[in-house]
């Protein structure tokens, strides 16, 4: 184990490192039950976008946390409730003396509380980045347990690869066959209450997610995704009618498939090519510059 003097020498010489906090996209979300403690049981097909938040980490005499980016000001009054700080503190507690003070810069590019895992992705990126900066790691099971303490979405964001998540999100199965998808993320920048969405669910014991084991190519996957659903979308549309509007806008601009992600209000439209997605995002931004539109590609399942 390093002495305090050696830790100081190491931290002083260590350069900054960066981590991407990719947007989490729920291609499908089936609500299949509810536990006695109130947590809902879910079956989710999840992928991650190239676009997201960015975190930079570097040694510092004392802990610091700064915000930038389009949506940075939204978190300015977050204080000690920010998941980045919670992730830092939990990891430091688990690691111990190796965890020297750190300056964390969060570039917040994703809308806050928008159904694409922004805060969870930030927390997961913090765990990955600080383990690299501090030159240490945790056993896989310990890291998974720590991630789950931060939130049900954090373990899957820690993986940041296409996957199926079940239970409350902690039972993860990689999906290496899922292809890269060109898409537009769209959000009317209007908040939607996740507890209220779940409260309005008409049925909480819905059919599970079933995918054929022999899906091949983008066309097969689009058909499979289209046959699935997001059980949270109907109640979310009741609360935020703009979700229906933004979905129709995506369809009108050539989306092959549209759906809401998570509990909303972000929707995604899948396009035939990245060029088509970029053209659509530009046109949609011109139509509604006060809303959020982002063309992106998802990561490869086989990466």
Report, as residue numbers or ranges, the catalytic residues.
24, 153
Q: Is 57 within 8 Å of 63 (Cβ atoms)?
A: no
Max Cα-Cα span within the chain: 62
Please enumerate, as own/partner, the contacts of 251-257 that have beta carbons within 8 Å and a separation of 24 or more. Answer: 253/184, 253/279, 253/280, 253/283, 253/284, 254/280, 255/184, 255/280, 256/222, 257/222, 257/225, 257/226
CA dist 28 and 262 (Å) reads 8
* Cβ–Cβ < 8 Å for 269, 183: yes
- For residues 187 and 264, what is the distance between their CA atoms, to the nearest angstrom? 8
CA dihedral (231, 232, 233, 235) positive or negative: positive
């Amino acid at each position: 184990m390093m002495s305090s003097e050696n830790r100081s020498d190491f931290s002083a010489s260590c350069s900054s490192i960066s981590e991407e906090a990719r947007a989490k996209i729920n291609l499908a979300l089936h609500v299949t039950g509810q536990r006695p403690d109130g947590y809902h049981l879910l079956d989710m097909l999840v992928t991650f976008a190239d676009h997201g938040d960015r975190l930079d980490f570097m040694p510092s005499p004392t802990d610091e946390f700064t915000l930038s980016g389009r949506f940075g000001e939204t978190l300015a009054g977050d204080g000690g409730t920010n998941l980045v700080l919670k992730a830092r503190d939990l990891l430091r507690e688990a690691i111990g003396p190796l965890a020297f003070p750190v300056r964390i810069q969060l570039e917040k590019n994703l809308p806050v509380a928008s159904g694409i895992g922004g805060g969870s992705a930030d927390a997961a990126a913090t765990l990955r980045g600080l383990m690299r900066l501090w030159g240490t790691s945790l056993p896989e099971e310990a890291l998974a347990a720590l991630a789950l303490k931060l939130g049900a979405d954090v373990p899957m964001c820690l993986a940041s690869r296409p996957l199926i998540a079940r239970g409350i999100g902690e039972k993860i199965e990689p999906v290496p066959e899922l292809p890269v998808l060109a898409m537009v993320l769209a959000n009317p920048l209007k908040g939607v209450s996740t507890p209220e969405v779940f409260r309005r669910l008409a049925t909480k014991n819905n059919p599970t997610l079933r995918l054929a084991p022999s899906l091949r190519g983008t066309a097969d996957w689009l058909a499979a995704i289209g046959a699935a659903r997001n059980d949270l979308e109907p109640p979310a549309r009741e609360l935020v009618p703009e979700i229906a509007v933004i979905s129709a806008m995506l369809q009108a601009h050539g989306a092959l498939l549209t759906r809401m992600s998570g509990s909303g209000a972000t929707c995604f439209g899948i396009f035939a090519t990245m060029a088509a997605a970029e053209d659509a995002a530009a046109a949609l931004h011109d139509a509604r510059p006060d809303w959020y539109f982002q063309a992106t590609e998802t990561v490869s399942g086989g990466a």
